[in-house]
Amino acid sequence: MIRLVYYELIKMFLKKRTYIGFGLVLVVVPLIEVAFKLEGGRFLQVATRGLAQDFFMIGNLFNGWLISYQLMNSLYIHIPLLISFVTGDILAGEATAGTYRLLLTRPVSRTKIFFTKYVAAVTYTFLFVAFLSVLSIGLAYALLGGGDLLVVDKIILVVQESEVGWRFIIGYLLALWSMLTIASISFFFSSFVENAIGPIVATMGVLILCLIVSSLPLEVFDSIKPYLFTDYLNLWQKAFHDPIPWNDVQTALMVFGAYSFASAAGAWVIFTRKDILS
Amino acid sequence: MNDIILQTNQLSKKYGERWAVKNLNLEIHRGDVFGFLGPNGAGKSTTIRMILSLIKPTTGDTNIFQHSLQSHRSLALQKVGGIVEKPDFYLYLSAQRNLEIVGALNGGASKQRIDEVLHLVGLSERARDRVKTFSHGMKQRLGIAQALLSDPELIILDEPTNGLDPQGMKEIRDLILHLANDRHKTIILSSHLLSEVQLVANRMAIINNGELIVQGEVKSLLEQGERYVLMEAQPLAKAKSILSKKKKLIKSYTEENGILNLNMNFDDVPKIVSALVRGGVSIKSVMPRHSLEDYFLAITENAGGKES
């Protein structure tokens, strides 16, 4: 099994496609952070214009933590797109290349092959989120330094600098959990199509549709909203609340877990039963 | 020597209302080079995909080395290697890396074994090159290399010479004969190139419209077929006149571009030649013809006729 996972990762990381997401993050994150640096504190003034009448802002609130926090908003659409770009290709790419015939005529079971591929999808998602976190926090800190973190969500909170580090770690771990759901959904779509574009389009379609339903203030959708994973995509923000609402976190983790499990199980059923005609 | 190592039992596959393969019973004996013949769309590839577990049969099963493919898939495929249609690889990886991946799926392959199979198919020099730089013939040879990697006892080759030039076809044919004769492998060779099967196979099966038409030893099956003699004789009119009086020896004859095609027993050729010469006909050439192609066409046409 370990040997199979090793070669699955070799296949993945010797493919140029795998690096497109990393490359884009490598370009976009520095671009945004340098732009923030050039913009100076004006961003904070604009963002807190409504608060300035009621609060005194003391200290360096325009810092690396704030920019890193802002960049985490990309976890709603942009990062899912880049993740599904690779995880949606893991099964469908084999069908496109005709290499299912190479893999599935061997004495190793389809279930084992499925799990090696799922492990590869999880590994990619982990590395991608880790890369995003290290780059965005590291570079922002280098450019703008540290300080307290001003969080303006449904609440206004100033997180002490001594707490910011571990809150980011929790935030990114929660983000990783939600991104694994995205990876699982695209993996599911990848199991029954024969081109890699289909899973990306389908994943983004599901994501956007659910986001629209989640954000519409219509009563008719109220009963289904708690079951939509998109309702919990802001899970990472909970890491910056004080205290962290662990009950809400637990609910969100369970919803994401249920989606991931259902998607992976569905993909397994399809993969182990499908006829290879390509 | 004649133990059966692969047996399909009422193997069938249905797509919608159409049976792609129906109640197929094949028997492959140890040491066979087994020609699996049929026109395009006959169900050869569907059968091979079922044997290699790429497709699940609608009904029936396959036993390989006494193991049921449905209930003991891993054991059944343990000593089997194959290529299905055109061999596809990870084009962005080298030949060596591709074989490492295939090897891992078989429980691991040593570098020495990988070098050995690459040498066997003549790709040692290109081992580290990316497969996307390979010609079709080289990919085909790499396909055979991956099929041989685990040193299988049974090798299944689905149309292995498809798209190759005559030289490439000969190389693959020679390789098949080498594997069968020198390495004692059992080989299933699916092909629509009848001459190819005739050159290498000792047993064969013919399928059409998904159903088995005939199965047996190539030699004995050929003996059941019609026999023809191609003859160049001058003057043609005189030759035809004599032949038309020899109805006991000649079942029928046709003439095309000055060449007579006589449907007759080979044993009677001297009598016919002698009668023609005595009648003042000069014979330029006599060529007995008894090919698998004739047999194949006759048998598949008959089967097609039955259906219509």
Q: How would you classify residue A20: left for phi > 0, otherwise alpha for psi between -120 and 50, otherwise beta?
A: alpha
pLDDT of residue A218: 83
Q: Closest Cα partner for B298 from B211, B222, B230? A: B222
Q: Does B46 touch chain A (CB under 8 A)?
A: no
Between A66 and A56, where is the model more confident?
A66
Contact B77 A105 (CB under 8 A): yes
With beta carbons under 8 A apart, name residues in chain B contacting A117.
none
Q: Does B101 touch chain A (CB under 8 A)?
A: yes
Nearest CA distance, B129 vs chain A (angstrom): 14
Distance of CA A241 to the CA centre of its chain: 20
Q: ipTM of this model?
A: 0.80
Between A236 and B161, where is the model more confident?
A236
Residue B306 pLDDT > 60: no
pLDDT tens digits, B193-214: 777 788 888 898 988 888 888 8
Both tokens of B139, joined, read 């990919």
With beta carbons under 8 A apart, name residues in chain B contacting A275.
49, 54-56
Contact B56 A275 (CB under 8 A): yes
Instruction: Give the residue on B whose Cα is nearest the Cα of A116.
Output: B105
- Residue A81 inside a domain? The answer is yes
- Residue A17 inside a domain? The answer is yes
Query: How large is the average pLDDT for residues B55-73?
Result: 91
A40 confidence band (pLDDT: 50, 70, 90):
confident
Domain count, chain A: 1
Check if the beta carbon of residue B260 is closer than 8 Å to that of residue B238: no
Q: Does B298 touch chain A (CB under 8 A)?
A: no
A249 confidence band (pLDDT: 50, 70, 90):
very high
B228 confidence band (pLDDT: 50, 70, 90):
confident
pLDDT tens digits, A11-20: 999 999 899 9
pLDDT of residue B305: 43
Residue B142 pLDDT > 80: yes
pLDDT tens digits, B230-244: 888 888 888 888 888
Contact B75 A100 (CB under 8 A): no
Residue among B50, B51, B54, B80 with most chain A CBs within 10 A, to mutate:
B54
* Mean pLDDT rounded to a whole number for chain B: 85
Which of these ranges, A55-59, A97-101, B156-160, B211-215, has the smallest mean pLDDT? A55-59
* Whole-number percent of chain B with pLDDT over 70: 92
B290 confidence band (pLDDT: 50, 70, 90):
low
- Residue A227 inside a domain? The answer is yes
Domain carrying residue A230: 2-273
Contact B100 A107 (CB under 8 A): no
Between B195 and B72, where is the model more confident?
B72
pLDDT of residue B55: 92
Instruction: Give the residue on A whose Cα is nearest the Cα of B146.
Output: A102
- Residue A278 inside a domain? The answer is no
User: How far apart, in Å, are the Cα atoms of B238 and each of A57, B83, B244, B251, B279?
Assistant: 119, 55, 10, 19, 8
- Residue A38 inside a domain? The answer is yes
Contact B56 A273 (CB under 8 A): yes
Distance of CA A100 to the CA centre of its chain: 28
Instruction: Give the residue on B whose Cα is nearest the Cα of A2.
Output: B104
- Residue A267 inside a domain? The answer is yes
Q: How would you classify residue A218: left for phi > 0, otherwise alpha for psi between -120 and 50, otherwise beta?
A: beta
pLDDT of residue B214: 84
- Residue A127 inside a domain? The answer is yes
B24 in helix, strand or coil?
strand
pTM: 0.82
pLDDT of residue A211: 87
pLDDT of residue A250: 93
Q: Closest Cα partner for B141 from B120, B110, B115, B158? A: B120
- Residue A190 inside a domain? The answer is yes
